[in-house]
Chain A
Amino acid sequence: MAAVKETIETVAKLETYEHGFVTDIEMEFAPKGLNADIVRFISAKKNEPEWMLEMRLAAFERWLTMEEPDWAKVNYTRVNYQDLYYYAAPKKKVGPKSLDEIDPEILKTYEKLGIPLREQMVLAGVEGAPKYAVDAVFDSVSVVTTFKDELKKYGVIFCSISEALREHPELVRQYLGTVVPVSDNYFAALNAAVFSDGSFVYVPPGVRCPMELSTYFRINAENTGQFERTLIIADKGAYVSYLEGCTAPQRDENQLHAAVVELVALDDANIKYSTVQNWYPGDAEGKGGIYNFVTKRADCRGARSKVSWTQVETGSAVTWKYPSCILRGDDSVGEFYSIAVTNGAQQADTGTKMIHLGKNTRSRIISKGVSAGRSSNTYRGLVSAHAKATGARNFTQCDSLLIGKTCAAHTVPYVESDTAKAQFEHEATTTRLSEDQLFYAMQRGLSQEEAVALLVNGFVREVLQELPMEFAVEAQKLVAISLEGSVG
């Protein structure tokens, strides 16, 4: 009954993805493939301003000249970009006025996923329970945003990016593409050309957003790429906490998800961005699953601004993702807390970049990687200080936990400093889940699965504590479920 040996043997039983169902609804697709006409089609479909179409077309031209990056430590079958649908929307009018106008099948989907879309349900909940507003994105379009009216009272704008482009075009134009330029990288350029929806948040000066904001992304249709675009602006002295969650049906072919997230924090603003990513990871042989190629970046533009990224990455077949902070404002702070769990044949190459430009900027990186099965888990991070970034400080801690003997963990930290007046610290550990610890916990009454879950949750606790309370519980369960296939 060698616990860890059994762990490896039962990795094959990876039938633990709860969100693998498909919703049967009538969809509207743009023709397969990508060309300038498709870009125009998407833009027209959304009644976008002319400048947006120009930006898209410029991005598309740029994308044609770029090559898919291959420096990450991931192997995958290349995407045939001409064999994808770039636009898939539920066949009902876009932007329903109320929940009653939404296809009941879609509502059922979100219900199944445990996501409260009906405000009254949330309001009827336990007294004192924190409320959170939800923007639900189904394939290419946002189907509903809750609590909009209440947020409006505070001047907070929370809507889909398509709506923002129509209702607040100047605000969007001022910030869109300023953190992640269209030419930034291959996937960012692709996203800029074809993004179909996503969330937009603006918090006015001095306002503390009164509730958690969250977006749930769901890929449903087959052969569909999801390219959402999120833009969050916290004006001077504003505070917002935002969470995104993602799921997709279980399908045999790979699906591409190439999102771009831009955060802008002005003077004294504070943005807390949390992700619980649970895209379908593929089966044990590595068949199917989501390619998660995402560019996330925050610009701490103002003095004393702060951005904190917290991510719990349990899904996707391949993850390529480095939520980063440009610490431009003096005394600005960037934080990155990450849990990346890989099992089966999953591959993750994830980490962060902390670019210290301003004086006395500080950053903190806590990364916890858990690898099981035949998976590969890489932390890749850059900490750099510009010549003017005197007094910059970074602390990095990368811990890897291995379950079994066929998985891999890699740590690739880059540290660059152009000033002698910066102080960077890096700590890294790699440990294997010990059979003795498992035996000890089991002797106290825990089954092998419970023991693994408890030990792994102990390993990632430091990061879980950074999540908003209600999501921390969810994330804890998710980590346990993700490893369920790895124990006997």
Chain B
Amino acid sequence: MLSIQNLTVSVDTKTILKGLSLAVPNGEVHAIMGPNGAGKSTLGYALAGRPNYNVISGTATFNGEDLLDKDVHERAAAGLYLSFQYPLEIPGVPALTFLRTALNAQKKLRGEDEVSAPDFLRRMREIAKSLKIDMDMLKRPLNVGFSGGEKKRMEVLQMAMLEPKFLILDETDSGLDIDALKVVSDGVNALRSPDRGMLVITHYQRLLDHIKPDQVHVLVAGRIVKSGGPELALELEARGYDEYLGVAA
């Protein structure tokens, strides 16, 4: 269970999240929707521990463990994975090298044995195939010169390899055409399991047609202003956020 209580976060001097509370039980998929500038991405960054995203007050725990006093890589090793809206390019580091280094670093932190090269490659091949990623692409520097769609598929490939316990998908649908959206969504759905929670941050209902949420939350001006079932996403799609903007003010 990811449990967030009264989280207030500022970036530079601006307060973005203003006492946000949210609970995502293991096995559930929750969607966060909201207008531009509401703080959706900030929530993902703050949970992942991005520098300059300062937690002013509040708590965030994962399966009872305090997340906020951990370093970025320790949160990752604890099972938190953030799929970036704009994945970074890593020049000179082949995707295979990057992922194997990351996976082993996580395992080391958790006190587990490193994965052997043949085992790693075997799993990599399976997952790459399911995501329609060519193995040759994995020998190229990670994300360098990749299209938007390729970068998002690489994000899903990484989460499948790292097997995190909790996923935050930050606008994973942006920049994807319909075919790529299907491939990416299938990849994410394959990771749904009773012991894995997900937080899906999106602008649009269309992603939620593919990744069906258990709960939908409306985030406006740094707070959750309404929560409901999947039907809430459809409502938002039809009516927009106007009626909530007054609530938040």
Binding site for B on A (CB under 8 A): 1-3, 434-437, 439-448, 450-451, 454-455, 457-462
Contact = CB atoms under 8 A, between A and B. Distances in A.
Given A444-B102, A447-B105, A437 B73 contact: no
A439 B72 contact: yes
Contacts of B101: 446, 450, 454
A462 B102 contact: no
17 contacts: A2-B51, A2-B52, A434-B88, A437-B90, A439-B72, A440-B87, A443-B75, A443-B76, A444-B99, A444-B106, A445-B73, A446-B73, A448-B71, A450-B73, A458-B90, A458-B92, A458-B141
Contact of B92 (A440, A441, A447, A459): A459
Nearest to B144: A458
A443 B98 contact: no
B156 to A, nearest CB: 13
B49 A1 contact: yes
A454 B93 contact: yes
Contacts of B141: 458
A355 to B, nearest CB: 30
Nearest to A431: B91
Closest 3 CB pairs of A and B: A458-B92, A445-B106, A458-B93
Contacts of A458: 90-93, 141
Interface in B69-114: 71-73, 75-77, 81-82, 84, 87-93, 97-99, 101-103, 105-106, 109
B72 A1 contact: yes
Given A1-B51, A444-B162, A454 B76 contact: no
B50 interface: yes
Given A2-B52, A443-B76, 14 more contacts: A1-B51, A435-B51, A437-B88, A439-B72, A440-B87, A441-B102, A443-B84, A444-B158, A445-B105, A445-B109, A446-B73, A450-B101, A457-B93, A458-B91
Contacts of A457: 92-93
Given A436-B88, A443-B48, A444-B158, A455 B93 contact: yes
Contacts of B82: 443
A439 B50 contact: yes
Contacts of A3: 51
Interface of B: 48-52, 71-73, 75-77, 81-82, 84, 87-93, 97-99, 101-103, 105-106, 109, 141, 158, 162
B73 A442 contact: yes
Contacts of A443: 48-49, 72-73, 75-76, 81-82, 84
A1 B102 contact: no
Given A447-B73, A454-B93, A439 B158 contact: no
Nearest to A4: B51
Interface class of chain A by DSSP: helix
A2 to B, nearest CB: 5
A454 B98 contact: yes
A439 B51 contact: yes
Nearest to A461: B92
A416 to B, nearest CB: 32
Contacts of A436: 88
B91 A442 contact: no
- Chain B CB within 10 Å — which of A2, A458, A459 has the most? A458
A440 B101 CA distance: 13
Contacts of A446: 73, 101-102, 105
Nearest to B103: A445
A244 to B, nearest CB: 26
Contacts of A2: 51-52
A320 to B, nearest CB: 28
- Chain A CB within 10 Å — which of B50, B75, B99 has the most? B50
Contacts of A451: 73
A460 B51 contact: no
- Chain A CB within 10 Å — which of B48, B50, B73 has the most? B73
A451 B90 CA distance: 11
B68 to A, nearest CB: 11
Contacts of A445: 73, 76-77, 102-103, 105-106, 109, 162
A331 B159 CA distance: 51
Contacts of B75: 443
A450 B49 contact: no
B92 A442 contact: no
Nearest to A460: B92
A470 to B, nearest CB: 18
A78 B190 CA distance: 67
B146 to A, nearest CB: 14
A202 B50 CA distance: 57
A95 to B, nearest CB: 45
B77 A444 contact: no
A169 to B, nearest CB: 48
Contact of B76 (A437, A442, A460, A462): A442
Nearest to A401: B91
A273 B27 CA distance: 58
Given A441-B102, A445-B76, A1 B93 contact: no
Contacts of B88: 434, 436-437, 440
Contacts of B50: 439
Contacts of B52: 2
B71 to A, nearest CB: 7
A65 B235 CA distance: 90
